[in-house]
């Protein structure tokens, strides 16, 4: 004889269960989106922080961090001095580079939080800061942003810059969508112009090749847009630091 007490779910009960599942799924997706958005905001905050720190360092020491040629007089035994030529790109004492003492100078001057050590290699959390995206950090270079956008760019104007990149062989740190989001908040939303420009690292095609832009030629540098159809990390943002 059938046990009438054993009943299945009613349509209302099934609807409630499905609603709960959809709410949980939606909450997880929304949570991930908020976390990702917070990471992008953190990158923006870091850029502003280091640009402000460089200005404070210049006001105090009349020099650039990393390039500061009197650093060992101010902090004897704690760091190396640069060559003082206004370019963060030289070798320091034959053992390290100005790029690797950049953050150490900032920390010794007390204009950034944390402590950095100018080790012989680029190490996140030691010579370079940790950031919101795993494996990505900031690196300085005296280089032309036009050249980085188009490797054959005829017009090159070198400047001290701040790269946001990974330390892996494929150094691309952000997807085109993420780079575009940051660019819109900091600048003009264009990959080849303004305060924020982009490059990409692709060892197969050429040393520098902006995969995340729709065009990578010098002729189209001022008009090209981000290729938002690309979802994987394909961009290395570049910012001026002076």
Q: Are strands 91-92 and 158-166 parallel, antiparallel or unpaired?
A: unpaired
Burial profile 120-136: b = 16 or more Cβ within 10 angstroms, e = fewer: eeeebebbbbebebeeb
How confident is the model over 37-55, as a mean pLDDT? 96
How confident is the model over 132-150, as a mean pLDDT? 92
User: 208 versus 242: which is more confidently predicted?
Assistant: 242
How high does pLDDT run on average in the chain?
A: 87
pTM of the model: 0.84
> 196-232: per-residue pLDDT in tens?
999 987 644 455 567 899 988 888 999 999 999 998 9
| Residue 27 pLDDT | 65
User: 202 versus 133: which is more confidently predicted?
Assistant: 133
| Residue 86 pLDDT | 95
Does residue 130 register a pLDDT over 80?
yes
CB 70 within 8 A of CB 118: no
CA distances from 228 to 44, 86, 95, 219 (A): 20, 37, 42, 21
- What is the spatial distance between Cα 226 and Cα 179, in angstroms, rounded to a whole number? 8
Residues 6+ apart with CB under 8 A from 222: 190, 192, 193
CB 116 within 8 A of CB 128: yes
CB 213 within 8 A of CB 226: yes
How confident is the model over 13-42, as a mean pLDDT? 75
User: 57 versus 37: which is more confidently predicted?
Assistant: 57
| Residue 184 pLDDT | 97
Confidence tier at 6 by pLDDT (50, 70, 90): low
How confident is the model over 12-29, as a mean pLDDT? 68
> 48-100: per-residue pLDDT in tens?
999 999 999 999 999 999 999 999 999 999 999 999 999 999 777 667 899 99
- What is the spatial distance between Cα 199 and Cα 165, in angstroms, rounded to a whole number? 10
């Amino acid at each position: 004889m059938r046990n009438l007490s054993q009943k299945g779910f009613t349509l209302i009960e099934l609807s409630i269960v499905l609603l709960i599942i959809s709410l949980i799924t939606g909450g997880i997706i929304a949570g991930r989106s908020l976390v990702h958005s917070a990471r992008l905001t953190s990158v923006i905050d870091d850029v502003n922080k280091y640009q402000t720190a460089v200005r404070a360092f210049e006001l105090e020491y009349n020099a650039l961090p990393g390039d500061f040629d009197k650093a060992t007089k101010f902090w004897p035994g704690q760091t190396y001095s640069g060559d003082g030529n206004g370019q963060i790109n030289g070798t320091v004492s034959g053992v390290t580079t100005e790029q690797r003492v950049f953050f150490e100078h900032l920390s010794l001057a007390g204009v950034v939080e944390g402590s950095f050590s100018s080790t012989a290699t680029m190490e996140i959390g030691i010579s370079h800061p940790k950031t919101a995206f795993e494996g990505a950090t900031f690196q300085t270079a005296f280089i032309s942003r036009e050249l980085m956008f188009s490797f054959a760019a005829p017009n090159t104007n070198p400047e001290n810059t701040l790269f946001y990149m990974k330390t892996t062989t494929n150094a691309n740190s952000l997807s085109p969508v993420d780079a575009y989001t940051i660019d819109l908040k900091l600048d003009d939303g264009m990959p080849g112009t303004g305060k924020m420009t982009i490059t990409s690292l692709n060892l197969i095609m050429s040393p520098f090749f902006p995969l995340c832009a729709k065009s990578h030629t010098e002729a189209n540098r001022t008009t090209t847009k981000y290729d938002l159809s690309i979802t994987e990390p394909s961009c290395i943002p570049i910012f001026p630091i002076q």
